[in-house]
Structure 1
């Protein structure tokens, strides 16, 4: 079917709208009952906090249907600590909604390989830049400053080994910060909410899960 809405000089838009056409034919039309049910509301049992990186789409990685997971994506899949200072707390608002309104049963923080945000946190390449020229990024990834120190001391600040250590440390930081939210903390302790850490390397497609007993990430053997 020819798309008459895309402009001739917009190949990016054309690709998106062509993809939308495929979705209408293969994703929406065959599953109309599912979409109809979702008009009544959503009831996801899992919240996934992932990176904005275009290579790590949680819905694709976990092959889920619409309405199955509640997803928040940001640079480096970070969760800030609980704070009540004035500001625009996007992640905190989404977390509050997932836990208090949707009443999800699990929250997964999923880091990934070759994460630009974690690399920037490790090298501090954006530090000192003004907002709009890297300053927003620098301020956001400063959430990893405390975790960066031992990583840099053990591995330096360059190379895949150092970057991987920083990527895994970032997941642990977000999991720790989740527990600073009273609504999360109380539900975890009551056994009605569980936190999980995961890591997707990209290169080999093997998902790693954080083992709560050892504190280490291990390949998922399903």
Structure 2
């Protein structure tokens, strides 16, 4: 079933002060176990590669004896890679060999229909959720599915954006996502519920500490300020859910800071979409950015969202 919601306009207010994070605890990115996710590949085993048992880990010991590498052997660890081998051979038999000509074509060149910017969270693989097949989607994954603005300088994410748009000429962007034709591009940015990166952003306090995660997550500070201003009466968890969506729209607007994206979007050669996956209820929300009526200035950014749809 699909529901549509009328357009709505929002304003993004520039951040006024920098945030510095506290020490990031080992539980910052704790993720509850999930079930029900299966591979989209035909005939592949459906068991997960569980690593929660300490016996499955590479263990270092100062008294490793004759094992000069310091790694204690583990039969379970061998079984883990044995299962990975089984999965690969199943992929080769049921996917590669049955579609040999397709994979030979892919070996020569790629022409993806979509470009997706999604979170690095292991629970929300875009290919698994949306059924992307080899060669169909150019996927960028990072913590909290962020798109930094042009003025932040070079990064792996904007290098991939430039390659996809200017070299591959991908047309649709999802969270960010792109779909390719030779005359139109589609871009989409995809976020998700219970995002550890957003929870870290929302819990950061002003202090003198710094870290790699702070330097990256702070790029979504505007989304944090908007979320706290919009729903100050809600509890922390509910504010995080709100910020997850604000962060997606913030990334959509950051796409327009790149001239070669904005130009194509204004000429209807490229479309930009947002998406939000709730993995607790297995629902998906998709919306479009009205690029012609959205703009980014030094005073802030105004974005207009349209054609919101729910898939459940």
TM (norm. structure 2) is 0.62
1:185 aligned to 2:262?
Answer: yes
* Local SS of the residue matching 1:168: helix
Answer yes or no: is 1:110 the counterpart of 2:190: yes
Alignment match, 1:220: 311
Matched, 1:8 2:84: no
Q: Is the 8 A contact 2:140 2:160 kept in 1?
A: yes
Instruction: Work out whether residues 190 and 274 of structure 2, in 8 Å CA contact, stay in contact via their aligned partners in 1.
Output: yes
User: 1:203 is paired with a residue of what secondary structure?
Assistant: coil
Structure 1 residue 218, shift from structure 2 partner = 3.9
CA contact (8 A) 2:143 2:197 kept: yes
Unaligned runs of 5+ in 1: 1-6
What is the match of residue 142 of structure 1?
A: 218
2:91 maps to which residue? 23
Q: How many matched pairs?
A: 209
Q: Which residue of 1 aligns with 2:147?
A: 79
> Which residue is 1:40 aligned to?
108
Answer 1 or 2: higher relative contact order, Cα 8 Å, separation at least 6: 2
CA drift of 1:177 comes to 0.4
Runs of at least 4 residues off by over 4 Å = 125-128, 211-214
SS in structure 2 of the partner of residue 71 of structure 1: strand
> Which residue of 1 is the match for residue 46 of structure 2?
none
Q: Could you say which residue in structure 1 is the equivalent of 2:227?
A: 151
Structure 2 Cα separation of the partners of residues 211 and 37 of structure 1: 32
Contact kept, 8 Å, 2:220 with 2:247, in 1: the verdict is: yes
- Judge conservation of contact 1:207–1:219 (CA < 8 Å) in 2: yes
Task: Give 2:161's match in structure 1, choosing from 95, 98, 119.
Answer: 95
CA separation of 1:105 and 1:116: change in aligned 2, threshold 3 A:
same
Structure 1's 212 and 12: CA in aligned 2 closer, same or farther, altered over 3 A? same
8 Å CA contact retained: 2:140, 2:157? yes
Q: Which has the higher helix share?
A: 1
Tell me which protein shows more strand as a share of its residues.
2
Q: Deviations over 1:159-218 (max 9, x none)?
A: 432111010011001101000001101111111111000010111221101254773754
SS in 1 for 2:194: coil
